[in-house]
Chains A and B, each alone.
Chain A
């Protein structure tokens, strides 16, 4: 079994790269890996099965056979298909075409994040659309649900219509809308109680709210950690209401979010937003290619490649990578690369964008200050020491520690890890494809590092990536990069 799709994918590459065309046989292996990975990402069994069949069909189609690089085609088909399934282009909120305020209604299972999302959405509409929303507290089921929405409203300065815990939700919502019209709110967001799709009385009540209020949009709030049952609940909510779109919550965790694909597939409704944290501003518009990358655990390759192209000097990176792969790599190179990477943004974010790193980085404390410490240590080295790390003996180490304000142990760690990396990199240079997969996956333990020194492990792997491909090894990743570049245009 595969731990993640990136390993599945590199496996797929291995079976495809080197072959001139995609044949039934060489695709089969990759396809199987992909299916397995989708299942492990919680994509529904049937959805995964269909998806895989589609990819296979397309991969074996004419457009592919004409291809010069089968690996490239495989990845392209794969990623495109998934992105398409997830929604193709971005879709926005509905608009109110009658003379009423825009009425949006939340629906979903218990604890999915509806109430929190009401506040997030209102805040987002106020910020980006200059709207003046009213929240309506219509969850009379959960203890303190009304209180929760009111508290959020207070915190954010949002108006809330609440009538305590008595009465009936459809009526409360109706009065909320009337109030909004009187008070010139241009958006009304209805919070409803969480309910199971099999809870008949509560589903009837929800449909009643919908009928009485005629919302312009019904938003199904979905937990991104949902498993296989996501299709059952989504289908049922949709058949009862129907729903307009989906909001995916808790995407700040490490769930691969396959349920998103399932929900999209069974309802056909777009995913509009994602919740990315508990705080009210941790909320974003949904980005299908990014989600596709996540489900495949390919990291946010798209934006990484784009960013990298903007800040990394391609030629230089390639030169560096060649050097790197030969194991001829010194502290000066290292420093330069480190600075190059740091231009990309905070380290954890950058590394998180790499395929396979999503999992590897979980729980790893990647403190950007550590890069500063490493930088300080290297800067305390003489030019000679930087170019010939071998000469750095204990006496020199002591001096470097003093000069950079670090513990001696930190310098020991730095030198030790640097040497290990040199070795690893020269192996990588010989290892080709397999090594490349490894380059994206530094050992989390070494990333966490020692007491305060230590090398931010695996880091040179980043500039190494474009170069590694340029050097003619690991064609798969080169293909991927080309594909990404084309995609952008």
Chain B
């Protein structure tokens, strides 16, 4: 199963975190105010934020209208409500009609950009594509070295300049190299930046402009890497990076822990950008396409049933 890793990560802590829906849906439980509050808690602790309250309110409505009477009907109701909110949230990588596809990777500090680039490169490489990476983080100590090491392990080329170089210049070089070398996918790393830092966001906009100058319809894909453990601030991040860099897809990294990445629901209310991948570990193969159903099931912890039958 695609989400195997996600589940196994969750399984590890299952005993410790036995609170959750399985307890809620235990036999004999009545649908009442207490139940609704506990449900709200489960949703909140998955970082759903105010969306959690909204869903509980919907459930309450359905209950009052007698569309729902038993707690046993609740999982299906929730599943439907959550999935409805993720409609159009899945998506695969865009490919340029001809020539190099340029993928720009952006996000706040330490979210998992560089590692996700390595994973993505691996994925594309294993599909038979010729991949090049550009070391656009010229700011953080040893950021260039970090990407270089990944490139070396993967046996792919890297375009880099020294620390302190203009990231737009690196992007420019990388685009030129990609064109002349007949590269299928160019993936550009960028320095982590908080969306509140105006000068750094301007710098990012400049990188986008420079890339466009080299390859007019590029970047074909601008992927924003979000840390799956981030709370409600992820929404602000998605909004701001979306505005400045024209984000076309999200990668939700670090989903192998106990965080559920529920901020995605809040993000969906503000920006219409699909989640394309999730990161489920630090190794090169730990990247999986995002799929709404297992994502929702992980929040509802339906995997408990899976193990029950196993």
Contact = CB atoms under 8 A, between A and B. Distances in A.
Contacts of A200: 12
Contacts of B229: 109, 223, 226-227, 229-230, 233
A19 interface: no
A450 interface: no
Interface residues of A, number: 53
Question: Main SS of the interface on chain A?
Answer: loop
A41 interface: yes
A44 B108 contact: no
A141 B282 contact: yes
A300 interface: no
Interface string A227-271: 111101100100000000000001011111011000000000000
Interface stretch (B64-72, B76-84, B143-151): B143-151
> Most chain-B Cβ atoms within 10 A of its Cβ — which of A115, A143, A236?
A143
> Most chain-A Cβ atoms within 10 A of its Cβ — which of B197, B198, B231, B233?
B231
B130 interface: no
Interface string A330-357: 0000000000000000000000000000
Given A112-B110, A144-B149, A148-B146, A229 B233 contact: no
A197 interface: yes
B254 interface: yes
Contacts, number: 165
A197 B257 contact: yes
Contacts of A223: 110, 227, 229-230
A253 B193 CA distance: 9
A306 interface: no
A46 B257 contact: no
Nearest to B227: A111
Contacts of B163: 151
B236 to A, nearest CB: 6
Contacts of A36: 50
Given A40-B49, A225-B234, 10 more contacts: A44-B45, A115-B141, A143-B145, A143-B150, A155-B141, A225-B231, A230-B229, A232-B259, A253-B108, A255-B231
Interface of A: 1, 36, 39-42, 44-46, 109-113, 115, 141-145, 147-152, 155, 196-198, 200, 223, 225-230, 232-233, 236, 250, 252-256, 258-259, 278, 362-363, 365
Interface of B: 9, 12-13, 16-17, 40-41, 44-47, 49-50, 53, 108-112, 139-143, 145-146, 148-150, 163, 192, 194-198, 201, 227, 229-234, 236, 240, 254, 256-260, 262-263, 282
